[in-house]
Amino acid sequence: MQTAIKEGKVSTRKVDYSSVYKGFFNQFDRPKEEVLRVVYSLDEESIKTLKKKFGENFDKLYKVDNKVNDEINVRICRLIRRKFALLENGEFVKITDYVNLDLDTIKERMSLLSKKEQERIYSLFGENLDKEVAVNFEQKNSLLRKKSIERLKSGKLKLVHTNFKPLFLILSKNKFDDETMEEFKFRHTLPIQLRFNDVDKFGHVNNTVYFSFYDLGKTEYFASVCPGVDWEKDGIVVVHIEANFLTQIFASDRIAVQTAVSEIGTKSFHLIQRVIDVETEEVKCICTSVMVAFDLDKHESKPLPEEWINAICEYEGRDVRKKKA
């Protein structure tokens, strides 16, 4: 029954929905099987909302409130059409297309992943990991992280260089004994906000972008440690830099740059930096650089001012002056 109010009068009349309803599947001009496949790739809440109006098999029509109608017409149906457009140059994938194991084994090994990565995978493939996901061909290879795939396949955690020690010794030109290395700590950490154009077509941060992160870390480090420097007169230039890329950074990652001075000479000093995942503390990339104090008026290198050296040593909590032979 439907109630109508007109000119102060209330009347009721029966509405024959079957005479005006064209059917849920007819909205998409696609075979029923294709529509169902896309529908069941949606999140659970969207599927439940559709069933409120169209029934368990999507072949009925029930009266629902405007909020549900708007949710279906404005969001869900548009999402279905976007998925069809995506599939023009793509396909459906399952988690087993990436990890060739039975679902029970994959579920058991999910605990090997970080909590954030678990949430991401469950949001893609559902709580039972049995959902299909519509992806275009460019997205397919970057949908799941290689590290996650490796852990799920092997059932083992692959240790990363979170203590920085082995690669630090290889990349740094300095020579530290084991005791000094154990005490080495990064005291300066700068959170990095990833930008849209930091991520390339492969879905990860391009290698060249890392150096802009390191530049930000350098700038903030010296602004914190040597706040009284007149940068219009005095400068610091990079004369050598190298990086070792350990694992990919994705758009959803929360990262930070850590910076420390490892050794100071007469005119130059060695800088150690790394990009880390702030949630897992996994090291993404390690960078070492040699920087030189520079006189901007004379356009030549200059000895490091003693106040800089003292400020850096105080900040690092140890004497980082180069030991004389």
pLDDT at res. 226: 86
What is the rounded distance in angstroms from the CA atom of residue 307 to the CA atom of residue 222?
13
Q: For the chain, what is the mean pLDDT?
A: 81
pLDDT at res. 98: 93
pLDDT at res. 18: 41
Q: Residues in the chain, how many?
A: 325
- Flag whether 25 is in a domain: yes
As a whole number, mean pLDDT of residues 3-7 equals: 43
- Flag whether 253 is in a domain: yes
As a whole number, mean pLDDT of residues 14-34 equals: 68
Question: What's the CATH code of the domain at 200?
Answer: 3.10.129.10
pLDDT class for 177, splitting at 50, 70, 90?
very low
Q: Among the listed ranges 152-166, 219-233, 308-322, which one has the minimum average pLDDT value?
A: 152-166
Residue 319 pLDDT > 60: yes
pLDDT at res. 138: 80
The answer to whether the Cα torsion of 297, 300, 304, 308 is positive or negative is positive
pLDDT at res. 22: 57
As a whole number, mean pLDDT of residues 60-67 equals: 88
Residues 302 and 212 in one domain: yes
Residues 54 and 96 in one domain: no
pLDDT at res. 201: 77
- Flag whether 321 is in a domain: no
Q: Give the structural domain span for 83.
A: 19-88
Residues 80 and 109 in one domain: no
Q: pLDDT (tens digit, 9 = 90+) per residue, 72-122?
A: 888 999 999 988 888 898 899 999 999 999 999 999 888 888 888 888 899
- Which residue among 48, 68, 88 closes a domain? 88
As a whole number, mean pLDDT of residues 151-163 equals: 61
pLDDT at res. 184: 60
Q: Which helix (H) or strand (E) holds 213?
A: helix 210-225
pLDDT class for 19, splitting at 50, 70, 90?
very low
Number of domains forming the structure of the chain: 3
Residues 277 and 301 in one domain: yes
As a whole number, mean pLDDT of residues 169-174 equals: 40
Q: Which residues are 92's β-sheet partners?
A: 134
Residue 166 pLDDT > 50: no
Residue 173 pLDDT > 90: no
- Flag whether 8 is in a domain: no
- Hey, what amino acid is at 227? P
Residue 14 pLDDT > 60: no
Residue pointed to by tokens 């690669």: 167
What is the rounded distance in angstroms from the CA atom of residue 297 to the CA atom of residue 229?
15
Residues 95 and 52 in one domain: no
- Which residue among 73, 88, 103 closes a domain? 88
Residues 135 and 109 in one domain: yes
Residues 84 and 95 in one domain: no
As a whole number, mean pLDDT of residues 205-212 equals: 90
- Flag whether 134 is in a domain: yes
- Flag whether 4 is in a domain: no
156 versus 165: which is more confidently predicted? 156
Question: Phi and psi for 304 in degrees, rounded to 5?
Answer: -70, 130
pLDDT at res. 323: 75
The answer to whether the Cα torsion of 294, 295, 297, 298 is positive or negative is negative
Residues 65 and 138 in one domain: no
- Which residue among 134, 154, 174 closes a domain? 154
- Flag whether 322 is in a domain: no
Residues 181 and 253 in one domain: yes
- Assign 240 to helix, strand or coil: strand
Residues 62 and 137 in one domain: no
Residues 68 and 209 in one domain: no
Q: pLDDT (tens digit, 9 = 90+) per residue, 260-290?
A: 999 999 999 999 999 999 888 888 999 999 9
- Flag whether 80 is in a domain: yes
293 versus 164: which is more confidently predicted? 293
As a whole number, mean pLDDT of residues 160-164 equals: 38
What is the rounded distance in angstroms from the CA atom of residue 37 to the CA atom of residue 227?
60
pLDDT at res. 11: 44
